[in-house]
Amino acid sequence: MSNEIEIELSEDLEVQEPKKYNVFLLNDDYSTMEFVIDVLVKIFRKTVSEAEAIMLNVHNNGKGLCGVYSFEIATTKVAQVKTMAREKGFPLKATMEEE
């Protein structure tokens, strides 16, 4: 007597990539450029030159793309920005949008 279990794989089984989310920083009139660069370096792991380019994009265009992440990571990054901004007394805000 055999205890083997047969698993039948469906040929119709489609593996879907998880949705990705763009995380943006939004411009405000109070957060300093230095603070925004600090956020980009510490939370989004950007180099200083990358952070400066994104910060200028935020400043000039109203928002700047910080990265593309899975839902869980994007949610965490948005929360980290909020926490860091509040600790330093800035109203900096991050948002996420489905890619």
pLDDT value, residue 9: 59
CB 42 within 8 A of CB 98: no
Rounded distance between C-alpha atoms, residue 48 and residue 65, angstroms: 15
pLDDT value of residue 8: 60
* Matching CATH number, 31-98, of 3.40.50.2300, 3.40.50.300, 3.30.1390.10, 3.30.413.10: 3.30.1390.10
pLDDT one-digit tens code per residue, 18-43: 899 999 999 999 999 999 999 999 99
pLDDT, tens only, 60-92 = 999 999 999 999 999 999 999 999 999 999 999
Q: Which residues contact 59 (CB under 8 A, 6 or more apart)?
A: 27, 33
State residue 45 phi and psi, 5-degree precision.
55, 40
